[in-house]
Amino acid sequence: MNNKHLWKVVLLMLLALLLVACGGGDETPVVEEGPGTDEAVVEDDMAEPVTISLARFFGDCDDTTEGVIDVKQATSECEVVQILTNKFNAENEMGITVERLGGAEWGTYYDALNATFAGGDRPDVAVMHGSNLPDYASRDLLLPIGDRLAANGADTGDWTAPAQGAVSYDSVIYGVPFDLHANLFHVNVDIFKEAGLVDDAGKPILPSSRAEFMEQAQAIQDLGYTYLATDASQFPIGVRIMFTLVWQQGSDLVSPDGASANVNSPEAQEALDFMLEMFDKGYADPNANYDASQAAFLNGEAAILHNGTWAVDQYNREAEFEYMVMDFPTLYNEPATWANSHMWTVPRQDDESRYEASLAFVTFLNNHVNDWSIGTGHLAPRTSVLSSSEYEAAPQRANYANTANISRLVPAILNWQATEDILKEELESTWLTGKDPMQALNDANDRINDELSQ
């Protein structure tokens, strides 16, 4: 057979194979019934690729996480959440790709998120604090996802009670809880030993009253150290201390129904007086911001740093002294400490076609809260994780396990951000500019009542 005839035979064979492969276009994709839905769902290997957008804070870490899917390599909040996103993108069999939107600074995050809602270009998934959820859920901007999560295999019954409360508004679930993050006492054990403030096992003895707090502070100041480092001028850390001290007295700064303020109560006056004594006597620096307070602690200049769960692993790695994290001490009658919650929400869309992809991603995150909590120090929102041997074996976790029991979430009220801003402004005015304390509390009370009435 000459070359010309050979090429004709090969061509005919290729055409025949092509016709067999195409099947004449008569066959249809195999489908199966999806769980908890009346609609047929295309099998994973037949799914169309889809890209969804993710709005989050936690910082930028693309240079350290590019291509990484092993969460154990993470050393920060940003790295944990970005590596989990990488892992989902690489391993999901539904052709879903999650792309992060800009805006990584949590201080400006909600302004940027509000702009996406106003502009009609909402993200498919958005991180949110429990304190901010009511503002969005009350305006029907978020998809109720409780039943949808169950259909995707998420065990919502494994969520802790605080987590259930944080993601719910009017008894409807609008989010997937990712953690409970609370304030703690980070302790330089070496300084406490030098001051003789440790028990027989060498564990720091924290104060159990206002008087003991001031006595310890003076003893440590006499040794040349600052007793308590805290951000008192940048982020609303002072507000968190205020809430904690008021709760420990059995009161609150906002009524249970969120209808009125209670900022000028006797308990609030006591709490503010406590803070002002602490600043006035030099036991804490009223001008310190977040970075300065953290640096003072890590440099060995402060006995205690008042900061959150998110810093535990960082300090455990970086501290050049004996470091121990402990529950916020009970200085009044009731154990309590400030807490909030991170969660994942699904904003409502005009085009609902990407909801399933969004739900698949948030379900994946729900199933990986152990990686988040072990990798960051935050308290897990699932009881099975809190009781797991892996969680209990993580550094320092046993030292603040009771924080999960004494944490109090900020009130789930509308206009929380405005309320917090007012509290921050009025409280800081007393130790930064010398405003009369009672006047500041009265002004805060009136201003917050105006916000709550809107």
Q: List the Cα angle 31/36/39 in 5-degree steps.
A: 40
Mean pLDDT of all residues belonging to the chain: 89
Same domain, 281 and 421: yes
Same domain, 165 and 72: yes
Looking at 4-68, which runs of residues are DSSP E strands? 31-33, 40-42, 50-55
Decide if 322 is inside a domain. Answer: yes
Higher-scoring residue by pLDDT: 36, 96: 96
Say how many domains are in the chain. Answer: 2
Q: The tokens 């440790």 sit on which residue?
A: 198
Q: Is the pLDDT at 213 greater than 60, yes or no?
A: yes
Q: What is the reported pLDDT for 19?
A: 38
Same domain, 200 and 297: yes
Compute the distance between CA of residue 57 and CA of residue 8 in angstroms, rounded to an integer.
Answer: 63
Same domain, 162 and 56: yes
Q: Is the pLDDT at 4 greater than 60, yes or no?
A: no
Same domain, 267 and 348: no
Same domain, 170 and 227: no
Domain that holds residue 238: 182-339+415-452
Decide if 69 is inside a domain. Answer: yes
Radius of gyration of the chain (CA): 27
pTM: 0.84
Same domain, 267 and 289: yes
CATH number of the CATH domain containing 143: 3.40.190.10
pLDDT for 97-136, tens place per residue?
Answer: 999 987 667 778 999 999 999 998 999 999 999 999 999 9
* Of 29-33, 155-159, 294-298, 380-384, the least confident: 29-33
Same domain, 232 and 345: no
Same domain, 96 and 139: yes
Q: How far is CA 403 from the centre of its chain?
A: 15
Compute the distance between CA of residue 50 and CA of residue 133 in angstroms, rounded to an integer.
Answer: 27
Q: List the Cα angle 174/184/300 in 5-degree steps.
A: 140
Average pLDDT over residues 281-301: 98
Residue 257 banded pLDDT, cuts 50, 70, 90: confident
pLDDT for 84-107, tens place per residue?
Answer: 999 999 999 999 999 998 766 777
Residue 154's contacts (CB-CB under 8 Å, 6 or more residues apart) are 176, 363, 366, 367
End of a domain among 377, 400, 423? Answer: 400
Same domain, 370 and 389: yes
Residue 17's contacts (CB-CB under 8 Å, 6 or more residues apart) are none
Decide if 89 is inside a domain. Answer: yes
107 burial via Cβ count (<10 Å: 0-12, 13-18, 19+): exposed
Decide if 13 is inside a domain. Answer: no
Decide if 236 is inside a domain. Answer: yes
Compute the distance between CA of residue 445 and CA of residue 264 in angstroms, rounded to an integer.
Answer: 6
Decide if 288 is inside a domain. Answer: yes
Decide if 38 is inside a domain. Answer: no
Same domain, 438 and 298: yes
Same domain, 432 and 294: yes
